[in-house]
Amino acid sequence: MSGYRISSPDTGVRIDPTKLLNFSFNGRTYSGFEGDTLASALLANGVGVLGRSFKYHRPRGLFSAGLEEPNALVTLRQGRRSEPNIKATEIELYDGLIAKSQNCWPSPKFDLMAINQLAGNALSAGFYYKTFMGPNVFFNKTTEVWWQFEKIIRRAAGLGKASLEADPDIYERMHAWCDVLVVGGGPAGLIAGERAAEAGAKVILCEQMAETGGSLVGSKDLIDGMEGDEWAKACIERLKDHENVRILTRTTVQSYYDDNLLHAIERVADHKIKPDAFEPRQRSWKIRAKSVIIATGAFERPLVFSGNDRPGIMLADAARRYAVEYGVLPGKLISIFTNNDTAYHAARTMADCGANIKTIIDVRQQVSGEIRAIAASIGAELLVGDAVSRTSGLQKISAIHVGHFNADSKLVAPSTHRIETDCLLVSGGWSPAIHLTSQFGGTPIWDEGLQAFLPGKALQNWYGAGAMAGKFGLANTLLSATDAAKSALKSIGIKPKKLKPPIVNSEEISVQPAAVYEIRRAIKKGKSFVDLQHDVTSEDVRLAHREGFISVEHLKRYTTLGMATDQGKTSNVTGLAIMAEARGEAIEDVGTTRFRPPFTPVTLGAIAGENYGHLKPYRLSPMNDWHIARGANMYANGLWMRPETYNQSGETVEQAYIREAGAVRKSVGLVDVSTLGKIDVQGPDAGEFLNRIYSNGFAKLPIGKARYGLMLREDGFLFDDGTTWRLDENHYLMTTTTAKAGPVMEHMEYHLDVVWPELKVSLVSVTDQWAGIALAGPNSRKVLEACVSGTDMSDKAFPFMGVRDGEITDIPIKIARLSFSGEMAFEVFCGAMHGQALWDALMDAGKAFDITPYGLEALSTLRIEKGHVAGPELNGRTNANDLGLGGMVSTKKPFIGSVLVHREALNETGRKQLVGLRSLDGQKILGGSHIVASADQAQPGESLGHTTSACFSPELNCYISLGLLKDGRARIGEKLHVTSPVRGTHGAVEVVSPHMVDPDGRRMHG
């Protein structure tokens, strides 16, 4: 056992010893207290080995007390809620918690994969590159070797395993605005937040832990005469009283984006066994802040020496926190190894809590009298100018070996002391948590005194406070935070209140460390870890240097230093320092990588938010419920859900659409066309506007008539088609394809607003205003005659392309005699909320004619037979001439695309033209097949074009297709082949006119 719970009631300010919680770790039951983290509870229970390391499977224990933890990653919960790679230091303990170690089998204490430790240098930096993409070994078959070993390596690599089951929890998003966002609820954040709130600013304060207070938790330092802990609690209560303040605890600000947009994750229910009913597990906040105060503190760094990863080795301040905040000591016989004064503060605090601090080893050649006095006061032996050269121990540390440290050579002499210890606390200086400031651009600045990077120039409206800004010590922290608050308020035009600075009575300890990062031995023996999470050693860094990967960016990628879930929070600076030394340069000249969002790992659920089960919203026609009740296969067509076919019992989709299309040709069918884009075009200049938008003339379209129109892009290619109905002198109703409704609206709005703003035209999307039903087939008119009132449905009174108003069962309707199917057909529109009633009325009226509802497949079949183009032909690469619609391109007026449509390239021979294709051998034609001349499937030869829309034609009783074929119109009658090498099909076809049914339009006009 390497740790225990302190019995003193003065320690453990975060826990409630009266509330016992039981939890399970690696199948064994333990107990802890409310307020514990999993880490503190395990430490209290003497669990020293929490998992195994990434590459070498070395035993690892707790190293820190916060989000920077590199070692103690566990899999939390089970089943659908199982979540890997969660830091034990961040898991709030709850009754019934279940967690297990990772990357070890069968247990963390005895792991078979520890055999990797024997692989030694083989697993060094660049392992994959060297082994599988390296020089010609294995008979130049390195890639094939990779194929052989890939599965094994992939199984062995990585840490935890994600659940394959669907996550049952709810994740939400939230949008928020504020004047001042305060990131961090420590002393700096609290006072900055209060100053901003008192000035009347709307404040959001985010604290990553369950409670605010930060370094003041358990602090005996005095602020305005109150102990730090007490002051922090009073401050947060005052903040809560402000209506203009929102305090978000368990909330980590992850990212800093343009325009002062910050992203935070609130862990709403992660501290519970499961969320309450309807409660989200996590909430993703997008916060738009006018100004930001960043008070994120600093991370303590370790020192690098041989065997520095043994369980029982821990950051000094983390140990202090465990003692003060959770009432747990990490060992019974503690040693400390440091290069700075702050470790002494930790030592004294721990000693006050009852810790037995045996030895303090300080690499510095000299330390102050005050520091010596602290060591003496706690009864610790002080070894100045010495260093830990290596450690001993099997599953955990049992002894350290200490020798004299040469500050010039950075070498430690052979050990002169062997010190028995079960816990070694290390402190290598402090790195301000500048991540958010770095994410948004400002290049970090090296501070020689602090041996750390400080925030660079503020490229947005943020202000640093406290340790993050390099202002250590309580008095400095509070002063810098009040200054930051003043600046933030002034920047957004809010006058700060004149308040007295708080009176601080605390011991100010220097945080300036000696510039010592690594303790090297003359004899290279043992591993010295820089990045504990990715098992990157100091030798890996030097290897990268020797192999030419000397820039910090290359160093990171080649060694994986600073990657993984901790993103190098305890290792980055040390790694840079070792690379700088290898390069013979200063750290500031080597530079640092730019931190990227997120600050800590974010669950995929929080990113997905409400986009679960579907990735986009859906649009429903007014008749949607009827389609579903009728057994339709609903099909996503863009955002719209549309019936594909109405399958009868035992029918396949193909059988269903053949039956439906056949019924239309034989009698009458109806199809829901509510999804068509519909645009209301009004105004004195509406006709002129349409004339400029369409390639064919619209200026002379009579009232009560519709016209098929072609729309081109400026480059002359086809954009969309549809019919436009003239309802009145100044009023038109345009229809577009379903897919292009939005783009056409944008296209027209752009031209109206930007190109022709002088035109008096109104464009309003009325897609949702109108339900649309197409009635097609030789009996379609008879159906309408049976139910329409208010208009004469005779052929003479209602000719082809006519538009009329009428009524069906009191429902006002508009009817247009149009045909997409090639049959006599009508489109009937009514108000969307009358759509179902209209559909029912048409179905009733059509009973006598065996009316058949048909879906998208039959709709497509009918138009393919007729040779009408749709999306697959209007594919952005075709022009009107390609599709046989050249006659619709006016030469008498200017219109969008009228100049470039006449480009030579768009009219040259050899362009692909629309043709029909009939299967000659009964084989199904697949859309997207190549059209080739060769009958040999193995040698199909040059692609002459491709099929666009294919189906079985009930009218022609064979498979047919539309296609785009080089010089297609001149090849009608030729026998070619369609081939799809990917799908393994090859069949004979005859090139025919695309108008395969009713080419002269007799049925349509009949």
The residues of the shown chain that bind another protein, judged by CB under 8 A, are 170, 172-177, 202, 276-280, 286, 288, 610-611, 616-622, 624-625, 639-640, 674, 680, 682-684, 729-731, 757-758, 760, 762, 764, 766-771, 809-811, 831-837
Residues 6 or more apart whose Cβ sits within 8 Å of residue 646: 627, 630, 631, 632, 656, 660, 853, 854, 855
Are the C-beta atoms of residues 742 and 677 closer than 8 Å to each other?
yes
φ, ψ of residue 314 to 5 degrees: the values are -150, 155
Residues 6 or more apart whose Cβ sits within 8 Å of residue 858: 645, 656, 657, 660, 661, 664, 669, 671
Query: Residue 855: which of 1006, 649, 638, 633 has the closest Cα?
Result: 633
What DSSP designation does 119 have? H
- Cis, bond preceding 106 (omega within 30 deg of 0): yes
Nearer to another protein, 173 or 238 (CB): 173
CB atoms under 10 Å from CB of 379, counted, come to 10
What are the Cα distances from residue 658, in Å, to 435, 450, 644, 866?
62, 79, 12, 15
Q: 360: which strand partners?
A: 336, 382
Q: What is the C-alpha radius of gyration for the chain, rounded to an integer number of angstroms?
A: 38
Residues 6 or more apart whose Cβ sits within 8 Å of residue 259: 288, 460
Name the minimum Å distance from CB 897 to another protein.
26
Name the minimum Å distance from CB 810 to another protein.
5
Name the minimum Å distance from CB 249 to another protein.
17
Nearer to another protein, 491 or 769 (CB): 769
Residue with tokens 């905040």: 325
- Burial class of residue 414 in the structure, from the number of CB atoms within 10 Å of its CB (0-12 exposed, 13-18 middle, 19+ buried): exposed
Distance CA 191, CA 466 (A): 11
Name the minimum Å distance from CB 812 to another protein.
9
Name the minimum Å distance from CB 767 to another protein.
7
Distance CA 641, CA 296 (A): 48
Nearer to another protein, 173 or 966 (CB): 173
Residues in the chain: 1006
Distance CA 1003, CA 1006 (A): 5
Nearer to another protein, 202 or 930 (CB): 202
Name the minimum Å distance from CB 276 to another protein.
8
Show the tokens assigned to 148: 């052989």
Distance CA 256, CA 292 (A): 10
Nearer to another protein, 272 or 1005 (CB): 272
Residues 6 or more apart whose Cβ sits within 8 Å of residue 390: 305, 306, 307, 400, 401, 415, 521, 525, 526
Nearer to another protein, 283 or 569 (CB): 283
HSE-CB at 625 with a 13 A cutoff on CA atoms is 6
Distance CA 537, CA 804 (A): 82
> Diameter of the chain by CA atoms?
114
Name the minimum Å distance from CB 758 to another protein.
8
Are the C-beta atoms of residues 447 and 454 closer than 8 Å to each other?
yes
Residue with tokens 């749709």: 870
Name the minimum Å distance from CB 771 to another protein.
8
Distance CA 811, CA 825 (A): 20
Residues 6 or more apart whose Cβ sits within 8 Å of residue 284: 171, 172, 173, 174, 263, 264, 265, 266, 606, 607, 609
Name the minimum Å distance from CB 830 to another protein.
8
Nearer to another protein, 223 or 269 (CB): 269
Nearer to another protein, 421 or 624 (CB): 624
Name the minimum Å distance from CB 738 to another protein.
11
Nearer to another protein, 132 or 285 (CB): 285
Nearer to another protein, 152 or 615 (CB): 615
Name the minimum Å distance from CB 250 to another protein.
16
Name the minimum Å distance from CB 728 to another protein.
9
Are the C-beta atoms of residues 359 and 335 closer than 8 Å to each other?
yes
Nearer to another protein, 369 or 757 (CB): 757
Nearer to another protein, 500 or 614 (CB): 614
Nearer to another protein, 250 or 912 (CB): 250
Name the minimum Å distance from CB 368 to another protein.
53
Nearer to another protein, 838 or 914 (CB): 838
Name the minimum Å distance from CB 386 to another protein.
58
Name the minimum Å distance from CB 711 to another protein.
21
Nearer to another protein, 288 or 782 (CB): 288
